């Protein structure tokens, strides 16, 4: 006879609610108790549950309120059916706060206030007073405050009530704070009550006394630990607070020796989204970390701390002055630009690195107050400052298209090809300033639009220039001329454009703009340009220049635009001699308003026009390096907002590509931060310690190119933009690892 052993496996059902685990036995016992005693009050029920689970605070008191919240959550999840509330209590009424006490207008030195007294709120009178002051003068009001809490009033010997504070339970999870503390997940759950939050702080707006805010913080801190122990039977070891970025600077906390440890991610306490806040902490004893990082086994386990990354100076310089109507939006813009710059090839979730940061980025791009023109305006102003440092600046303008046909549900796009191609996207016309040697200084104008449709070729000639896309050339020239007028004693700006810009309106605009920018435009042969001489005889431009390849000419306006002035320019015809067999030779006809009096002037104009290729390289970086056509943002407005950020990043990558060639011997710190060049040199050279001195910019750029796949052989030349943006994507991760293992 065979004995069969039957093994029965039980699945233990457990729920974590309010930081406590509710097993299936507890939930079953709860349900049975409610059925047996349906008239049992929720207060008595919560006390019973606390006794079953031995749910007490450090003072040994039952955690009734925490338990009651947990019961409500279980009821919401339909795990239990709580009895109905049959009685209402006075504390449930929402009373209007009492009228705030009159606060004197004070503007004096700290000593003139007399004795500044910190009074703990223990009476009903003080409670009403504290609440009325906070409701009247604090932007968050008086509450609600979470968990264990103490409140204080601030009184001046000579001026009466001047402010108030509160301390309450800390936030359960904040990434920057938790990394700074170094506690494990187990230690955080076990010891978070030893961290308390300065949840409200008010010095009345009519009280303007230097050093008062930091003085009150320090004075309150000296008594807080004893007060907390007296009420809750344990001593806190760390204070925290959250300062809303863009609204306050946090200077009083820094003056009181609080330490900045990073920022929040903008998720909020309930995960529904909030403003980004700076996190400050203040240890209350020397061995605070031993208390917070102590685990159940009695041992202290400290995680390795990741150093906070300093903001990039160039991002602050370019975009710090952006005016979006709210300083918090500007702060978010700086953060997003840094994340996009670190990983130019990544999509938005990859670049942001977390769900909360990704949501914040999408909210920013969709915000009604965010305008791509405002983002770029700050960059234009920074570019103008760089322009003033150069005596000659070549300003190239060109048009490119962004193809979003792979995202057909995107709203607000228009056709960008022929009617038969049915390709949809956006048109972009940008204007970039370059030094004479080709270093990009930045953008001076960007136009972005979606076409309504493709019009008839025969109707275009009847439209005024303002209603045509050709107006983009004139509008861009207007923007550059405004910069020229502001820089006329420092810099000469020359607008460089290809054959599409060869329209008489552009030359007429320059003719009618005193002190405007100069022009250098390649002529389009099919325009059949005619020139007139002093005797008013006409001749075709190309025929005229075949006699003499460089000379001044007067451009006659087209037949349909006789009201426009004739314009005096210098023409230079350059033709390739003995081109390769089977290939047509190059031919450039350049029209410029800058005098060409000698042969060397003609060669110089050719070199200037050759610099226009820089804007073509820039467009390649935007599309391939920043992958703007891969953005999936559902609307043209969001795409334009993201494009503004990507265009600034693409300029910075282009700038690095040329800077390494132009100034190879300067230290790499002009471009790379300390952690970047140290991470780069140790990783690329496979050594543990970085050199004592930073390498030259040329050496650093070559190491960066090596990360992106540049072989660096003798005949390979300088790393190009493609390998550099690939290298930058890798360097961002290498830098994080370097900081992790060296901090």
Task: Name the pLDDT band for 445 (thresholds 50, 70, 90).
Answer: very high
Please identify, among 59, 87, 115, the residue that sits at the C-terminal boundary of a domain: 87
Same domain, 547 and 610: yes
The reported pLDDT for the residue numbered 593 is 92
As a whole number of angstroms, the distance between CA 614 and CA 434 comes to 8
Please give the Cα distance from 314 to 335 (Å, whole number). 12
Return d(Cα 263, Cα 280) in angstroms, integer: 9
Both 545 and 404 in one domain: the answer is yes
Question: Is 344 among the domain residues?
Answer: no
Domain extent, residue 54, equals 14-87
The Cα–Cα gap between 516 and 68 comes to 74
User: Would you say residue 9 has pLDDT above 70?
Assistant: no
- Asked if residue 404 and residue 530 are part of one domain, the reply reads yes
Q: How far apart are CA 452 and CA 424, in angstroms?
A: 11
308 Cβ contact list (under 8 Å, min separation 6) = 176, 261, 262
Q: Which residue has the higher pLDDT, 249 or 623?
A: 623
314: in domain = no
pTM beyond 0.75, yes or no? no
Mean pLDDT of 152-179: 91
| Tens-place pLDDT, residues 654-675 | 888 787 666 666 677 766 777 8
Same domain, 250 and 111: yes
Residue 348 maps to a domain: no
State the DSSP string of 172-235.
Answer: S--HHHHHHHTB-HHHHHHHGGGEEEEEEEEE-TTEEETTHHHHHHHHHHHHHHHHHHHHHSS-
Cα–Cα dist 619/621, whole Å: 5
Indicate whether 656 belongs to any domain. Answer: no
CB 714 within 8 A of CB 687: no
Residue 373 lies inside a defined structural domain of this protein: no
Q: What tokens appear for 571 in the block?
A: 């023409």
State the Cα torsion 353-355-358-362 to the nearest 10°: 170
Among 30-34, 499-503, 543-547, 665-669, whose mean pLDDT is lowest? Answer: 665-669
pLDDT given for residue 304 in this prediction: 64
> What is the domain-level CATH number for residue 702?
1.10.740.10
Q: What is the DSSP string of 4-18?
A: PPPP-PPPPPEEEET
Are residues 22 and 52 located together in one domain of the fold?
yes
Place of tokens 């609204």: 247
Q: Are residues 622 and 676 in the same domain?
A: no
- pLDDT given for residue 154 in this prediction: 94
Q: Indicate if the pLDDT at residue 12 is higher than 50.
A: no
Residues 119 and 235 reside in one and the same domain:
yes
Nearest to 672 by CA among 624, 727, 621, 632: 727
Residues 6+ apart with CB under 8 A from 381: 321
Out of 239, 258, 292, pick the residue that ends a domain.
Answer: 292
| 167 lies in some domain | yes
Beta-bridged to residue 240, according to DSSP, are 197, 281
Check if the beta carbon of residue 444 is closer than 8 Å to that of residue 432.
Answer: yes
Question: Are 604 and 709 in the same domain?
Answer: no
Identify whether residues 226 and 162 lie together within a single domain: yes
Contacts of 313 (CB under 8 A, 6+ apart): none
pLDDT at 513: 87
Give yes or no: residues 141 and 212 share one domain. Answer: yes
Q: Name the residue with higher pLDDT: 476 or 5.
A: 476
Same domain, 678 and 582: no
Q: Could you give phi then psi for residue 508, rounded to 5 degrees?
A: -65, -35
Joined together, the tokens standing for residue 394 give 């070549």
- Residue 398: give its domain's CATH number: 3.90.350.10
Supply the DSSP symbol for 45. H
Q: Is the pLDDT of residue 460 over 50?
A: yes
How far apart are the C-alpha atoms of 490 and 389, rounded to whole Å?
A: 8
In a domain, 315, yes or no: no
Could you give the angle at the alpha carbon of 671 between the alpha carbons of 397 and 306, nearest 5°? 125
Query: Which letter, b or e, does each residue of 520-530 get, where b requires 16 or more Cβ atoms within 10 Å of its Cβ?
Result: bbbbeeeeebb
From residue 456, alpha-carbon distances to 251, 462, 467, 607 in Å are 63, 11, 14, 38
DSSP state of 696: B
The number of distinct structural domains making up the chain is: 4
Residues 638, 642: Cα–Cα separation, whole Å: 6
Q: Given 87, 114, 149, which residue is the final one in a domain?
A: 87
In a shared domain, residues 82 and 129: no
Q: What are the tens digits of pLDDT across the range 382-419?
A: 999 899 988 999 999 999 999 998 888 889 998 887 77
Is 363 domain-assigned? no
């Amino acid at each position: 006879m065979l004995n069969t052993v039957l093994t029965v496996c039980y699945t233990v059902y457990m729920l974590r609610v309010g930081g406590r685990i509710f097993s299936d036995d507890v939930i079953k016992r709860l349900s049975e108790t409610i059925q047996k005693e349906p008239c049992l009050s929720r207060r008595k029920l919560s006390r019973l549950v606390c006794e079953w689970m031995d749910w007490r605070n450090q003072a040994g008191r039952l955690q009734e309120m925490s338990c009651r919240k947990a019961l409500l959550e279980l009821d919401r999840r339909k795990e239990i059916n709580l009895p109905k509330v049959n009685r209402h209590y006075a504390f449930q009424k929402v009373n209007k706060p009492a009228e705030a006490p009159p606060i004197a207008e004070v503007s004096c030195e700290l000593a003139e206030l007399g004795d500044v007294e910190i009074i703990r709120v223990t009476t009903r009178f003080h409670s009403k007073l504290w609440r009325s002051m906070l409701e009247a003068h604090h932007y968050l009001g008086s509450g609600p405050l979470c968990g264990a809490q103490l409140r204080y009033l601030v009184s001046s010997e000579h001026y009466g009530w001047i402010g108030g504070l509160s301390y309450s339970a800390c936030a359960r999870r904040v990434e920057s704070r938790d990394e700074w503390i170094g506690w494990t997940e187990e230690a955080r759950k076990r010891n978070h009550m030893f961290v308390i939050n300065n949840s409200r702080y008010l010095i009345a707006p009519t009280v303007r006394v230097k050093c008062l805010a930091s003085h009150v913080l320090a004075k309150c801190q000296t008594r807080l630990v004893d007060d907390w122990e007296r009420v809750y039977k344990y001593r806190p070891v760390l204070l925290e607070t959250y300062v809303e970025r863009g609204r306050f600077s946090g200077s009083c906390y820094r003056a009181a020796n609080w330490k900045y440890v990073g920022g929040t991610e903008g998720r909020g306490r309930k995960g529904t989204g909030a403003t980004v806040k700076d996190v400050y902490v203040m240890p209350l004893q020397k061995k605070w970390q031993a208390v917070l990082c102590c685990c159940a086994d009695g041992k202290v386990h400290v995680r390795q701390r990741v150093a906070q990354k300093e903001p990039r100076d160039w991002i602050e310089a370019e975009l710090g002055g952006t005016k979006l109507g709210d300083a918090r939006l500007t702060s978010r813009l700086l953060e997003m630009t840094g994340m996009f710059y670190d990983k130019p090839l990544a999509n938005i979730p990859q670049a942001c690195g977390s769900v909360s940061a990704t949501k914040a980025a999408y909210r920013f791009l969709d915000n009604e107050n965010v305008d791509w023109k405002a983002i770029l305006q700050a960059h234009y102003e920074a570019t103008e400052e760089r322009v003033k440092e150069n005596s000659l600046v070549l300003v190239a303008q060109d048009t490119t298209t962004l193809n979003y046909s792979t995202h057909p549900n995107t709203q607000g796009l228009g056709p960008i090809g022929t009617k038969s191609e049915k390709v949809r996207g956006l048109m972009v016309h940008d204007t970039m300033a370059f030094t004479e040697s080709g270093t990009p200084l930045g953008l001076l104008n960007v136009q972005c639009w979606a076409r309504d449709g493709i019009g008839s070729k025969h109707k275009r000639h009847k439209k005024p220039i303002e209603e045509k896309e050709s107006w983009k050339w004139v509008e861009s020239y207007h923007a550059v001329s405004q910069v020229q007028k502001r820089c006329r004693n420092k810099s000469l700006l020359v607008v460089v454009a290809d054959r599409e810009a060869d329209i008489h309106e552009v030359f007429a605009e320059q003719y009618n703009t005193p002190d405007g920018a100069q022009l250098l435009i390649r002529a389009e042969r099919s325009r059949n340009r005619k020139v007139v001489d002093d005797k008013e005889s006409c001749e075709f431009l190309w025929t005229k220049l075949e006699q003499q390849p460089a000379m001044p000419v007067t451009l006659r306006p087209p037949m349909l635009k006789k009201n426009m002035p004739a314009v005096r320019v210098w023409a230079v015809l350059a033709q390739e001699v003995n081109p390769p067999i089977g290939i047509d030779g190059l031919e450039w006809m350049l029209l410029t308003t800058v005098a060409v009096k000698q042969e060397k002037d003609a060669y110089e104009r050719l070199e200037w026009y050759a610099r226009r290729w820089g804007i073509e390289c820039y467009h390649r970086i935007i599309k391939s390096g920043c992958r703007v056509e891969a953005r999936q943002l559902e609307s043209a407005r969001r795409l334009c907002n993201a494009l503004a950020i990507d265009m600034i990043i693409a300029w910075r990558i282009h700038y690095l590509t040329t800077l390494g060639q132009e100034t190879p011997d300067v230290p790499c710190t002009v471009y790379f931060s300390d952690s970047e060049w140290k991470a780069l040199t140790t990783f690329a050279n496979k050594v543990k310690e970085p050199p004592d001195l930073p390498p030259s910019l040329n050496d650093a750029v070559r190491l960066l190119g090596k990360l992106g796949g540049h072989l660096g052989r003798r005949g390979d030349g300088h790393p190009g933009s493609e390998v550099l943006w690939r290298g930058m994507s890798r360097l961002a991760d290498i830098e994080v690892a370097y900081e992790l293992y060296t901090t």
